[in-house]
Amino acid sequence: MDMKVKLGFFLLSLFLIPSLGTAARAGGSAAHRNLEVRRHLTRLNKPPIKSIKSPDGDIIDCVHISHQAAFDHPLLKNHTIQMRPSYHPEGLFSDSKQETIGPKPIAQLWQTNGRCPKGTIPTRRTRTDDVLRASSIQTFGKKIHKTIPRPTSASPEPDLITQSGHQHAIAYVEGDEYYGAKATINVWDPKIQQPNEFSLSQLWILGGSFASDLNSIEAGWQVSPDLYGDNNTRLFTYWTSDAYQATGCYNLLCSGFIQINNEIALGASIYPISGYRDPQFDISILVWKDPKEGNWWMQFGKDYVLGYWPAFMFSYLSDSASMIEWGGEVVNSQSDGQHTTTEMGSGHFPEEGFGKASYMRNIQVVDSSNNLRAPKDIDIFTEQSNCYDVQLGKSGDWGNYFYYGGPGRNPNCP
């Protein structure tokens, strides 16, 4: 081999060796991430006693109640499950509240293909793709930004609009001690512009400072392509004890919420859905603090007491809440430099009214005597009423209610 050929091979090797090293490192990094994802899925997806395939593609695993992810929490290792609340805001709790004559109506799509046996809880199986859609394993199942507005008469803090990109249309009360809240919410399937955006309707139980140590318990329905991989409307919960910084998650995607109910799966699709000028379907959500044990309980509809958040997980909410909020929230990522077209609620403004706009009716709070009552001095808040708006009302059948929502981008919301 002559010198020119040898020199050519040498020069070529100078380019190839770093490239091969980079490729090896990339391959090693991918292998490491895949290993981490598999480990995380093992932590989340506990061995099921039974599995049910939902028509929407979900797998619902029936997991033994004592094996649920909640008990991975160090402080819950020796926790004795509270199988029923001591008290209910509508009177002393009785198991008869959950008894109905005949089969219960379908509330979630997966129930069309089966039910979980007693002694288990239904959990939506987390898939590899679900985790990979997150920016990291650490952020999977978490809200990335501070998402609760601080309603005041002054302008909202700049980061609520420009940095976090979250927008709201809410009713709220503050200035008292609150021990829970309730609302009946009609269910829609708002259109989402970008996969990293979401639209939700919920209630918030709040205590502490919005800046650093906010305690929040949240429940309602949401459409979130990033979290679930589709555009289905799903029942969800969320909690945090440090303003969304390190604690908390959606549904059962971390240890915290203890589920006791074998009929409703957090994160599963709600069925049926309201339609524009079509029949309206709503759900009721009640969250209240058990005055004896101190845990925060959640009820879905009139039949399903789902479970509780242990009081020790919170600082401010270990006693009571200082603010209650009800309403809608969307992410406005402004991916194309304009306001998102992601819809809130039905995608229509409040003034369109029943059958067209989203509503929350019979909104109530739980007082220190563990009684449901009408909230006093309700106020409203929205960052941009030309994009999403809220209007209060009161009637005999609906009590305190409001219509809310909107289409996002429109001629008055550029």
Q: Which amino acid is it at 339?
A: H
Q: Are 65 and 120 in contact (CB under 8 A)?
A: yes
C-alpha 293/C-alpha 89 separation (Å) is 14
> Residue 203 contacts by C-beta under 8 Å, 6 or more apart in sequence?
181, 182, 183, 218, 219, 220, 285, 287, 324, 325, 326
DSSP lists the bridge partners of residue 325 as 172, 204
C-alpha 273/C-alpha 225 separation (Å) is 17
Identify the active-site residue in 197, 218, 263, 343: 218
Instruction: Retrieve residue 153's tokens.
Output: 């008469």
53-88: string of b/e by CB count within 10 Å (b at 16+)? ebeeebbbbbbebeebbbbebeebeeeebbebbebb
| Helix and strand numbers, DSSP H then E, in the chain | 4, 20
Instruction: Retrieve residue 169's tokens.
Output: 């249309």
**Known catalytic membership, residue 329:** yes
End-to-end CA distance of the chain: 70
C-alpha 404/C-alpha 392 separation (Å) is 9
Q: Which amino acid is it at 411?
A: P
Q: Are 63 and 48 in contact (CB under 8 A)?
A: yes
Q: Are 187 and 233 in contact (CB under 8 A)?
A: yes
The CA-based angle 12-16-18, given to 5 degrees, is 130
Instruction: Retrieve residue 16's tokens.
Output: 């190839």
Identify the active-site residue in 197, 263, 325, 329: 329
Closest CA to 71 of 233, 259, 221: 259
Phi, psi of 15 (to 5 degrees): -80, -40
Instruction: Retrieve residue 120's tokens.
Output: 């288990």
DSSP letter at 412 equals T
Backbone dihedral region for residue 20 (phi beyond 0: left; psi -120 to 50: alpha; all else: beta): alpha
C-alpha 222/C-alpha 330 separation (Å) is 10
Phi, psi of 102 (to 5 degrees): 80, 180
Write out the catalytic residue numbers. 218, 329
